[in-house]
Chain A
Amino acid sequence: MSTLEIKDLHVSIVTEQGVKAILKGVSLTINTGETHAIMGPNGSGKSTLASTIAGHPRYTVDSGSITLDGEDVLAMSVDQRARAGLFLAMQYPVEIPGVTMTNFLRTAKTAIDGEAPKLRTWTKDVKAAMAQLRIEPEFAERNVNEGFSGGEKKRHEILQLELLNPKFAILDETDSGLDVDALKVVSEGVNRTIAAGGLGTMLITHYTRILRYIKPDFVHVFVDGNIAEQGGPELADRLEAEGYDRYLDEETATA
């Protein structure tokens, strides 16, 4: 079993207006096998948390810590974090001209495993994983994310999740922009990875819709750079009924 532990994390970014604090003391522990839903309004800092864990250079960690089984994640480069077992499914996956999906996936797999995958089984695995996510075979020869629709990009993020087999997956609004059918397909992909064992999941979302397909063990409400409340799946139901207004009102009341 593995543990991803975030302690009192303070993160800021440099903008044209100056330094802006975004995360204000986030603490969260995720163990293998657990699924944590993070829900919160636009701009509350959910993507910042995800990107900081993955090591995006734009974000400065001012204080606090992130550890993976006791190892200091913040000391690792972006690629080291990925090789240590962290996977970020991005809210806005980037297009990479000139690099085919096939080439990209093989290079990533080789990097993560430290050796090239056996060609025959690998090709079979990729084909099977694509078929399960209802990705047409011709995508294999297309450039990474180039000209993909929003939904196609998200499916490919989950394809990578399934093929790269991380210890922890951070899914940043993987559900947004998906129609119901695509949502099901993508959720099944995540559930397959969870069922295969050995995955801890941080599921960032705006909507409770995806939680009907991927059952969270814990729900955290994220407001203004911090966790305002946490609970079990029932908290998601309450958010569905009431929205975030309660937390936002509190915030303006105390401001």
Chain B
Amino acid sequence: MTELTQEQATDNKVWSQGFIKGMTEEGESLSEINPESGPLGGSAAKAHSHGGDSHGGGVGIPDSSRAGRLTSYKLADFPAITGREEDWRFTPLKRLRGLDRVGIKGQELTGAAPAVDVTKPDAVTVETVGRDDARIGKAGIPEDRVAAAAWENFTEATIVTLPEEYLGNSEDVTTLTLTGAGDTPAAAHIMVHAKKFATGVVVLDHRGTAVLSENVEILVEDGANLTVVSIQDWNDDAVHASAQHISVGRDAKVKHVVVNLGGNLLRTTPSARYTGTGGEVEMYGLYFADAGQHLEQRLFVDHSTKNCKSRVTYKGALQGDGAHAVWIGDVLIRKQAEGTDTYEMNRNLILTQGARADSVPNLEIETGMIEGAGHASATGRFDDEQLFYLQARGIQEDVARRLVVRGFLNEVIQHIKVPALEERLRDAVERELAAGSL
């Protein structure tokens, strides 16, 4: 029954030209921002481990196992970030504008949270609540210092609730438009709660200017079917760390979509945990990194219960000098998670020189009794031979590039299945292309 697949061969074929070899091999072709590799995680982190059994089998170095990573609501539990940690080695800390140093040398996180505008169907409720609301913390716990700082510092939270057996569709979407309040470092907290058997779509639309650390809790109760789309389309100067904690109930289905477009530094860290059997998670990501942008996507799927399924598809295009995308896909299949079925995939398309993509799938498997587990990662260049072929059919160079990028990203866009969003994302991709040097 066990099926382990690595799509290396296919990848080589798809990207027969310009394939960057070794992208799927951990530790190779990786361009760390903070290179001197020190001891990772360390015993301090282990001692605080939330998961209990911290022996990480599989491919990774034991210290880098997700099973052993520290989780805590308290900022003080997390040591200062040096940049050499497994979790931070790709992030340009200097550009975090202090989000990493909250509580150190007087660094505060007290700026105003983004303003929240709501459009929603009548049956869905959106409330602003205080820190002490009993629901907060039901779906998540910070897994890094930046998220813990936000957890300690937010003053009010926004809670979206889809009532029990609510039946929404892709037309009546709940949208929170979150408009940044400026560049003072700020914390925000959002919770999306789908009660039993609720079905619906919630969009978090981040805009404006912000230096923001945010926790998003996504609580999906038994039998619910929830789509959450988080769009980061900030102004060029924005810095945004968003930890999105997904709790998947028994037989629940979650589609989680990350769209990273605008901002100076975006670090989006979705993690999914299953609280019952039969849960299904689909994670999609789409990013377009321009000159000077650092877009980092780190996801974690924690298979700790039986017979759950996960599918991860992230695709990104990069263009311009210093455009940098990071994708880390941590999938952990714990010993007790028999019958797990997981597949994760990341593809990058590099359009110009000077752009850089790092892609690291980490699959840790502690049991052989699974349905399937696989990963694929490939970074391709839009190369001269492809361009020549399209031009030789009369297609102008700029049109040819657009055709390829649109086609490449469309695979993700068409899976979102929210018509209004699909159109907006296609337009956004057009704008990115037009803004580039193409």
Contact = CB atoms under 8 A, between A and B. Distances in A.
A99 B407 contact: yes
A88 B392 contact: yes
A94 B389 contact: yes
B404 A94 contact: no
B394 A146 contact: no
A194 interface: no
Nearest to A88: B392
A111 B404 CA distance: 16
Task: Give chain B's interface residue range (CB within 8 Å of chain A).
Answer: 20 to 34
A94 B394 contact: no
A83 B394 contact: yes
Interface stretch (B8-16, B28-36, B125-133): B8-16
A13 to B, nearest CB: 14
Interface string A45-69: 0000000001111000000000000
Interface residues of A, number: 33
Interface in A129-155: 143-144, 146-147
A79 B395 contact: yes
Interface string B377-403: 000100011101111111111011001
Contacts of A147: 13
B403 A104 contact: yes
A95 B14 contact: yes
Given A96-B404, A98-B407, A99-B407, A108 B388 contact: no
Nearest to A166: B394
A87 to B, nearest CB: 8
Contact of B394 (A100, A103, A108): A108
Most A CB within 10 A of own CB, among B385, B409, B410: B385
A54 B394 CA distance: 11
Contact of B393 (A95, A143, A160): A160
B407 A107 contact: no
B411 interface: yes
B349 to A, nearest CB: 8
B394 A79 contact: yes
Given A79-B397, A104-B403, A97 B14 contact: yes
Contact of A98 (B389, B391, B395, B408): B408
A1 B16 CA distance: 41
A56 B389 CA distance: 9
Contacts of B395: 79, 82, 107-108, 111
A98 B389 CA distance: 15
Nearest to B383: A94
A191 B410 CA distance: 38
Contact of A100 (B17, B389, B407): B407
A94 B13 CA distance: 11
A146 B408 CA distance: 13
Contacts of A57: 384, 388
Interface in B39-82: none
A77 B391 contact: yes
Contacts of B396: 79, 111
A201 B399 CA distance: 28
Which of A56, A79, A88 has its CB near the most chain B CB atoms (within 10 A)?
A79
Given A78-B392, A79-B397, 5 more contacts: A93-B389, A96-B390, A97-B14, A107-B399, A160-B393
12 contacts: A55-B391, A56-B388, A79-B391, A79-B392, A87-B392, A93-B389, A95-B386, A96-B404, A97-B408, A100-B407, A104-B393, A107-B403
